[in-house]
């Protein structure tokens, strides 16, 4: 993920069915399409990752 080059060691895509789209960091769900009923807006996941505090300092 280019927005967090020093904080993200890997990104894993996990196939699913039923339109599920979730972003997790560690064990914490950062964004869930199932919970919100929509896909995230542009920049929303990056903002939520920053706000989570899970990536430490240095994000955008």
Q: Place 40 in a pLDDT band, splitting at 50, 70 and 90.
A: very high
Question: In the prediction, which pLDDT does 59 show?
Answer: 47
According to DSSP, the residues that pair with 24 across neighbouring strands are: 29
Taking the C-alpha atoms of residue 55 and residue 53, their distance in angstroms, rounded to an integer, is: 6
User: Higher-confidence residue: 12 or 46?
Assistant: 46
From CA 14, how far away is CA 54, in angstroms rounded?
20
Residues pairing with 32 in the sheet: 22
User: For strand 28-32 and strand 22-25, is the pairing parallel, antiparallel, or unpaired?
Assistant: antiparallel
Overall pTM > 0.75: no
The DSSP element (H or E) to which 28 belongs, if any, is strand 28-32
């Amino acid at each position: 993920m280019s927005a967090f080059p020093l904080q993200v060691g890997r990104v894993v895509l996990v196939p699913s069915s039923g339109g599920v789209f979730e972003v997790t960091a560690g064990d914490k769900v950062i964004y869930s399409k199932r919970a919100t009923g929509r896909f995230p807006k542009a920049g929303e996941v990056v903002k939520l990752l920053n706000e989570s505090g899970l990536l430490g300092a240095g994000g955008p």
